Amino acid sequence: MNVKDIHNVFFIGIGGIGMSALARYFKYINKNVVGYDKTRTSITDELVNHGIAVHFEDEISQIPEAFKQKDNTLVVYTPAVPSSHSQLQFFNDAGFEIKKRSEVLGIITRDTFCFAVAGTHGKTTTSCILAHLLKEVNTPFTAFLGGISEDFNSNFVLEGTEYSVVEADEFDWSFLQLSPNIACITSMDADHLDIYGTSEELQQSFYDFTQKIKPSGMLFIRNGLPLKGITYGIEDESDYCIENILIEHGTYIFDLKTPTEILKQVRFNKPGRHNLLNGLAAFAMAVQAGSPPYRLAKALGTFKGVQRRFSYQIKDSDFVFIDDYAHHPTEISAVYNAIKEMHPNEEITAVFQPHLFSRTKDFADDFANNLSKFDMILLLEIYPAREEPIEGITSAWLLNKIDNPRKKLVSKSNLINEVRDCKSGVLVTMGAGDIGLEVPKIKRELAYAS
């Protein structure tokens, strides 16, 4: 595919966080962009505001006539779209050039100096921190982010085309389409077993990803992962290491050891040791772009965050409301530990929406063990996303596994009433489904009540 020969780009699933970033890229380089999504969201509204036509009916009649010219139209789709989708079938039957989002991302970034962040957790935050650092030191880059950066208020950043920042997504082997110069692997916990079958196959895919790094390239890995690369960690013998951590008014202050120097009194404002590791990984990658480490270390202190990644919605002296994208047991554990570190004496109520029947089934015991740590648990029904139900796999079934007397199955329609009665000092909402749409409603209700 030669991007220069493409005039029209049609997106099927344009409202996805990765798809919408690509749509904005093509719009920016003056292509005609149209897309379908099944649900109107703030992301689709933003696309419309940028002049991109979005429709919500899976009808062939919704495809503009100009986009039925297969010689100059590219069709981009997400694997979450079923093969029975009418528009996808139309383009398939007519012989259009059809590519997955990951393929297109690989093509766009192939001729850039590409930074790729991989891992079952931490990709979005690490990528957003990296984009922020590069911006602060005036590096010309384009970023395709898997979340809304609070520094850019966007999931797409265009500051130049010499460098690129991308998330290397392991779902559906997507990251094997990339050919990065600098790569990072943050974690390799079992996930997406509906795709990979076993954790061993998932780990093999990460090894295969490392083989995609350009010969002159470099791999950073969190210390302890079963791969060879430049290591980063906290209070250990890693090549890049955070040491002497203090917490002052919710801010981390620490020393940052590189292979050649120690940077003193570095500041970072996002709670959680997992976020410290994300910041360290981004810093180590950014050093390879040639910027002075002391400038990058200073820029760590001004990173604002990512929407739905340990995002404080309310932060008063007597009550805190946090929202997080956590949808895997390891991520739930990281959120819990971060809250206990920053708010050590507060009772915590957790609202959790499981994401995918298969993930709930595969990790039920781990979900139950980690949710049991919270003082009170409000459990929503499973968000199916792309999946059909699995017999016997329900939130009621998961609730029975949680070893905590203060647990309750709640509906979204009654969630406001439940959290209104919350007496805990900390409320946290977690999940990768549509629970994010409930967060503004909860925030308004609790702010009004106070």
Please enumerate, by residue number, every residue annotated as part of a binding site for ATP: 119-125
DSSP secondary structure string, 314-336?
A: EE-SS-EEEEE---SHHHHHHHH
State both tokens at 234: 């906290």
Task: Enter the pTM of the model.
Answer: 0.88
Q: Is the pLDDT of residue 450 over 60?
A: no
Please, what sign has the CA dihedral across residues 401, 405, 410, 416?
negative
276/172 Cα distance (integer angstroms) = 28
Kindly report which listed range (42-51, 75-84, 400-409) carries the lowest average pLDDT score: 75-84
Q: How confident is the model at residue 190 (pLDDT cuts 50, 70, 90)?
A: low
User: What gap in Å lies between CA 427 and CA 397, rounded to an integer?
Assistant: 24
The average pLDDT across 291-297 equals: 94
All structural domains of the chain: 3-99 (3.40.50.720), 110-300 (3.40.1190.10), 311-449 (3.90.190.20)
| Alpha-carbon separation of residue 361 from 119, 191, 192, 215, 371 (angstroms) | 21, 11, 11, 40, 15
Buried b (16+ CB within 10 A) or exposed e, 339-361: beebbeeeebbbbbbbbbbbbbb
- 3-state helix/strand/coil string of 52-107: CEEECCCCHHHCCHHHHCCCCEEEEECCCCCCCCHHHHHHHHCCCEEEEHHHHHHH
What's the Cα-to-Cα distance from 442 to each of 48, 334, 414, rounded to whole Å?
A: 27, 23, 11
Please name every residue paired with 407 in a beta bridge, in sequence order, or none if there are none: 377
Classify burial at 282, counting beta carbons within 10 Å of its beta carbon; exposed 0-12, middle 13-18, buried 19 or more. Answer: buried
423: left (phi over 0), alpha (psi -120 to 50) or beta: alpha
Per-residue pLDDT tens for 106-131? 999 999 999 999 998 899 999 999 99
Q: CA-to-CA distance for 285 and 187, rounded, in angstroms? A: 16
- 422 Cα distance to chain centroid: 29
Tokens of 129: 């921190």
**Could you tell me which residues are annotated as the binding site?**
119-125
Q: What ranges in 137-211 are assigned the alpha helix state H?
A: 193-196, 199-210
Q: Is the pLDDT of residue 365 over 90?
A: yes
Question: For 322-333, how does the pLDDT look when each residue is reduced to its tens digit (9 = 90+)?
Answer: 999 999 999 999
pLDDT tops 70 at residue 231: yes
The per-residue pLDDT of the chain, averaged, comes to: 93
Phi (first) and psi of residue 141, to 5 degrees = -145, 160
Q: Is the pLDDT of residue 3 over 80?
A: no
